A and B are shown apart, each in its own frame.
Chain A
Amino acid sequence: MKKIHIFGIAVIAIAIAIIVSTAGDASTYVNFSQAEELAMNGSNGSIHVVGKLKKDQQGQILDMAYKPELDPNYFVFTLLDNNNREQKVVYRSPKPQDFEKSEQVVVIGRMEKDHFEAEKILLKCPSKYNNEKLETTEYQASKL
C-alpha cells in the first residue's frame, strides 16, 4: 500500500469521527412533554424548546419575575410550548432586554424537577427595522 493511500484512509477516518461526534453534540427541538420524558430517561443533554410567553387578554405577561434589587442573576418566567403546555423556566442571568416584545422564545437547556433550566434564550422579536419580519437575538446565561 502506498503512503498516499494510508494517508487517505486516515483523513477519511478523521472525517467520519468528526461527523459522528457532531451528530452526538447536536441538540434537538422538542416540546416540554418530550423534554420531560428525556429527562426521566436519564438523558441530560441540552435541548431546544420553542414557545410563547403566557399572556392575558390585554397582552400582559403573566407569571414572570425579575428582581434585580434582590438578585440580578435570577429570572423566572412561564413559557407555553407549541402544544400549549405551561412550564416554569428559570434563567440564571439578567432578564434579556426586549424580552417583553418577543413573539417567540426559544429556550435552550434541560428539564429539572419542577422547572426548565435555561442556559440560553433566543428571542424572536418583531424586526427592529422591518415591520413584517422577525428577528432573532441570542442570550446566554453566564457561567463560572
Chain B
Amino acid sequence: MIHTAYGNTGHFFVIVAFVSAMVATFAYFKSALSSTPLDEATSWKKFARLSFFLHAISVGVVVFCLYWIIGNHYFEYHYAWDNSSLSLPTGFVISSFWQDQEGSFLLWIFWNVVLGLILIFTNRSWEGPVMAIFALVQVFLASMVLGVVIPGLDLKIGSTPFLLLRESMPELPVWKTNPDFIPKDGNGLNPLLQNYWMVIHPPTLFLGFASTLIPFSFAMAGLWLKKTKEWIRPALPWALLSALILGVGILMGAYWAYETLNFGGYWNWDPVENTSFVPWLILVAAIHTMIIGRKNATALKTSFILSIATFVLILYSTFMTRSGVLGNASVHSFTDLGLSGQLLIYLMTFVVVSVGLLIYRWKDLPSDAEEVSTYSQEFWIFIGATLLCLSGFQILATTSIPVYNALAESFGMVLNLALPTDSIGHYNKFQLWFFALITILTGIGQFFWWKRTGEGRLHTLYPPLLITLLLSAIFITVGGVRSISYIVLLTAATFAIVANGTILLNIFRGNYKLSGGAVTHIGVALMLIGILFSSGYTNVVSLNNSGLMISRSEEFTQNDNKENKEHVTLWLNRPLQMGDYLLTWRDIRVEPRHIPEYIPKSWVEIIENDFHAVALRDIVVNDKTYYKSGDTLEIYPENFYYEIEYREPSGKVFTLFPRAQINPRMGLISSPDIQRKYNKDLYTYVSMVTNPNEEGQWSATEEFTVAMNDTFFVNDYVAILDNVVRTDKVDGITLGEGDAAVKALIRILDNGQEFVLTPSFVIKDRTVGRKAEVSNELGLRAQFQEIDPQTGQFTFAINTKQRDFIVMKALEKPLINILWLGTFVLIIGFLMATIRRFRDFLKNQKKELAQLPKVKKMKPQQVS
C-alpha cells in the first residue's frame, strides 16, 4: 500500500510553515517599526507571535511526517528509499533523516524554531525586531524544501523530501506495469555515516549554524532601533553559546574523521571543513570585540561588522557546499539539487539588507573621542580579533578558488584555477604563524584585561615569560623539536598556558566564575600543542623494509630505494617485522549485532543481500554460548574486521581490528582501528584486501600420486606425505558402525614455516566421501582422491589460488591526547563564559523590568 497521507500532510505543512513564516516576518516587522502606533504595535506583535507558533507547529508536523516515513520504511518515498534500509539499526535510522539536503535543511529549520521560541519567552523587549529577522530566515529556509512548481513559469521552488519514487523517477519502466510498485528495501545509509558520531555531529553542527543567527539578529535589531550599545548584553551570551556549539560540532566532525575515515588525521583542510571553521573564527573575533564594545567605539563598530560577517559566512558556506560550485574540489559536498539560484538569492538578500542597514546607520554610531592607548586592554584584544579575522580570510581566500572559476565563467572567461595540491602545507604555512601570534596575544590580552600589567608595569610580564622560556626549552629538547616554526608555535602555546594559568590562579582565589576566558585560552593552547605533535611528528610505522628489491626501474631505485613505501602487504598468518612490532594478520572477523565481540568469519555463512547469517558452529564468546550451530543471527553484513596481532619487543601482544566495509555500491571503505596509549595513538588501517565475499579463483586440478614419505612440489612449495592414519572424527560427517575414515598428513614447507594439511577419505554407507582441506595461508586445497592398496600409493587432487593478503598502513600519532584534553578544557571555558554572561544579562534584565512599570504609566498618557 502506498501511504500517500504522510507525504501529503508533510508537504501541506511545509507550505503552511512557509506562509506562516512570511506572515510572521511581516507582522513582526510592523510591530517593530517606530511609525506603528503603540497599541497597534502590541496587536501586531500578538498576531506575529501566533503566526510564529503556527510556523513552529507546522515545522514539528513536517519533521514528524518525514521521520515517520523513514522510521516505518515506507520505501515508496524517494527519501526513505534513498537513505535508509530495513537492516539499518534504529540509531542510524535517525541519522538517515539528515543524510540528504532536504533533511538537513529541515534540521536547520527545526533548530531555528527552537531558538526562536526560547527568545520569544526569554526576551520580550527585543522580540519584535529580532524575531522579524528570524522569521525572514525561516521563509528562505522553508522555501528550500517547498517543492512547489509555479505553473506557467515552469519555475520550481525548493526540493521536497516528500516525493514518491514514481514522482522522482518517472522514467523507470516499472511504473507502466505496476504503478503501485514499492521497493522491498532501500538503498541504505552511506556506511561511513553509520557511526554514532554521525548521529550527534550533524545536529550539533546545525544547532551551531542556527545559533549564529541570534547575535546577527540582535546586531540588526540594535541598528534598526538605534540601540547601538544595548544589543550587546543580550547577544553576548548567545554568541558564546553559539561559538561553543559550533566549535563542538566542528570538533566532533574532526574526531569522526579521525576514527572513521582513513586519511590518517582529524583535519584535512577540506572545503567543507573550512567553510564551517571560518565563521567560527569570525564569531570568536566578534565575541572579543563585543566584550570591549561597550567601552570602545571602534570595537563596537567592529562588533556589528563581525556579527554580520559570521552569519553571512554561514550562508556562504551553505551556498558553497550545497550549490555544486565546489564540484570535484571537495570529498563530501552535497549533490546539486538545482537550488543554487535560490541559495544565491538567500545569501545576497542578507548581504544587501545587513550591509545596507549598517551603512545607513553608520553615522549614528558613536566614535571614540581619543585614540586608544597601546597599553590598554582594548588595544590588545582588538589586535587579537584582527588576527583571528586575517586567519579566517586566508582560509577563505583559498577555499573560494572554485567560486572564482564559477564567477569567471559567468562573465564568459575561463580561469581553470585549482586548489593547491599540497593544501595542508599551503594552509599550515599561514595558519601556524597566525595561531602562534594569536596564542601569545591570549596571554598578553589577559594580563592587560585583568590590569595585571600596563604602562610602566610591563615588568609584570617577565615572570611568566621566564617560566615559558624555561619550560619550552625543556619541551623542545625532550620532544626533539627541530623546525623553527614548530619551536615558535610550541613556545607561543607554552606562554599562553603559563600566562593564562597565572591569571587563572589569581581569579580563582577571587571569583572563579569570571575565569572562563583564561580557561578557554588554555584549552586552545593545549589543542595547538596536541596538533603540533600529533600532526607534525606523525611517524609511519608500516615502512616496507623487507629488503627485497621490488622493482628495478629507476624510479624505484632512486632515492635510496625508499620511495614512498609506506604500505606493507601482510599474508595470512605470516608474521612480518614492522618497526618495533612483529605483525601477523590472523583472521577476518564479522560483527554480530547481539554479541559484544567480533567473531571469525568462518563461524558463519552470511546470507546474501540480507543482514542475517547462519551459524556454522556453536558460537561461544567469553564462555557464553550465544547461538547453536544452524541458528540464524543478525549481523552487520558490510563490516569485516581484520584481526592484526601486534607483538611488542617486550613480548606483549595486542590486537587491532581495522575495518573494511564491503558495500555493493561503494566498493571497499576502510576505517582504522586505534591502539590508544597515554602518550600516543597507534593508528592502523587496511588500504586493500581481497574481497572476503568472494572465494577466489581456484586453478585447474592437478593430481599427485605419491607413496608414503614422498616429496612433491605443489605451487612452488615442498610437500611431504608424512602419514596416512585412521581417524574416528571427520568434521561435518557422523561416522556410523561399519564406516571408516582415514586422513592424510601432508606437511608443506614454506619460508621456514610448516603447515599440515589433513584431507580425509571416508567410506560411509559403502560410498566414498572425500573431505577436502583448504589452507588460505598457502592458497591450497587438497582432496584425498584415491588409495591404491596394490601399490601402496595415494592420489591427491590439488588446486591453488592467490593467497589471501591485505595491504595496510600504520601510523603513530604522538601526544594526540593533549589535543583531546585541550578540547575539553576549551568546552569548559566556553561554558563558564556563557553562564557568566547569561547571569549578567538576566541581572540586567531584572533591573530593567523593575523600571518598566514607570514607563508603562507614562506611555498611555502620551497616547491619550
- Chain A positions within 8 Å of B, measured between CB atoms, are 2-4, 7, 11, 14-15, 18-19, 21-22, 25-30, 45-48, 68-74, 90, 92-95, 97-98, 101, 106, 108-109, 112, 119-120, 122, 124, 127-130, 133, 135-138, 140-144
Contact = CB atoms under 8 A, between A and B. Distances in A.
A97 B564 contact: no
B562 interface: yes
A95 B688 contact: yes
Given A18-B394, A22-B397, A133-B335, A69 B569 contact: yes
Interface stretch (B55-63, B197-205, B598-606, B660-668): B660-668
A4 B416 CA distance: 39
A19 B562 CA distance: 37
Nearest to A11: B386
B127 interface: no
19 contacts: A22-B397, A25-B426, A26-B420, A29-B417, A29-B418, A45-B421, A46-B422, A70-B550, A71-B556, A72-B807, A73-B544, A74-B551, A94-B567, A98-B667, A106-B328, A122-B328, A129-B83, A129-B187, A144-B562
A30 to B, nearest CB: 8
Given A46-B422, A48-B418, A133-B335, A18 B393 contact: yes
A92 B669 CA distance: 20
B668 A70 contact: no
Contact of A18 (B374, B430, B569): B430
A7 to B, nearest CB: 8
Contact of B190 (A21, A71, A119, A129): A129
Interface of B: 82-83, 187, 190, 263, 298, 327-328, 330-331, 335-336, 371-372, 374, 386, 390, 393-394, 397-398, 401, 416-422, 426, 430, 540, 544, 550-551, 555-556, 562-569, 663, 665-670, 687-688, 805, 807, 809
Contacts of B809: 142
A134 B455 CA distance: 62
Contacts, number: 146
B335 A127 contact: yes
Contacts of B563: 73, 92
A63 B401 CA distance: 34
A128 B418 contact: no
Contact of B421 (A11, A74, A97, A119): A119
A3 B665 contact: no
A127 B551 CA distance: 36
A108 B421 contact: yes
In the complex, the 4 A-B pairs of residues with the closest C-beta atoms, listed nearest first: A46-B421, A71-B550, A72-B807, A27-B418
Given A72-B544, A72-B568, A95-B688, A27 B82 contact: no
Contacts of A68: 569, 688, 805, 807
A138 B82 CA distance: 23
Contacts of A129: 82-83, 187, 190, 665
Contacts of A133: 335-336
A45 B422 CA distance: 10
Given A48-B421, A93-B564, A122-B328, 10 more contacts: A26-B417, A26-B418, A30-B416, A48-B418, A71-B551, A73-B565, A73-B566, A130-B82, A136-B331, A142-B564
B263 A136 contact: no
A112 B554 CA distance: 12
Contacts of A7: 386
Given A97-B668, A97-B669, A127-B335, A4 B687 contact: no
A71 B555 CA distance: 13
Contact of A74 (B187, B386, B556): B556
B613 to A, nearest CB: 24
Given A29-B418, A109-B421, A128 B371 contact: no
A29 B416 contact: yes
Contacts of B420: 22, 25-27
Contacts of A2: 371
Contacts of B83: 129
Contacts of A93: 564, 566-567, 687
Contacts of A140: 263
Nearest to B811: A142
A70 B422 CA distance: 29
B330 A14 contact: no
Contacts of B422: 46, 119
Contacts of A97: 667-670, 688
Nearest to A142: B566
A27 B687 CA distance: 28
A128 B187 CA distance: 9
Given A129-B190, A129-B665, A130-B335, A141 B564 contact: yes
Contacts of B419: 26-27
Nearest to B372: A3
Given A25-B420, A28-B417, A122-B328, A144 B540 contact: yes
Nearest to A130: B335
B298 to A, nearest CB: 7
A13 to B, nearest CB: 11
B565 A138 contact: no
A97 B668 CA distance: 6
A141 B670 CA distance: 16
B551 A70 contact: yes
A74 B371 CA distance: 63
B790 to A, nearest CB: 43
Contacts of B555: 90, 112
Contacts of A98: 666-668
A2 B190 CA distance: 57
Contact of B667 (A14, A101, A130): A101
B818 to A, nearest CB: 24
Interface centre among A93, A97, A137, by most chain B C-beta atoms within 10 angstroms, is A97
B616 to A, nearest CB: 29
Contacts of B550: 70-71, 74
A73 B666 contact: no
B48 to A, nearest CB: 40
A72 B662 CA distance: 20
A19 B390 CA distance: 11
Contacts of B569: 68-69, 72
A52 B298 CA distance: 55
Given A3-B372, A46-B422, A26 B551 contact: no
Contacts of A27: 417-421
Nearest to A29: B416
Contacts of B398: 22, 25-26
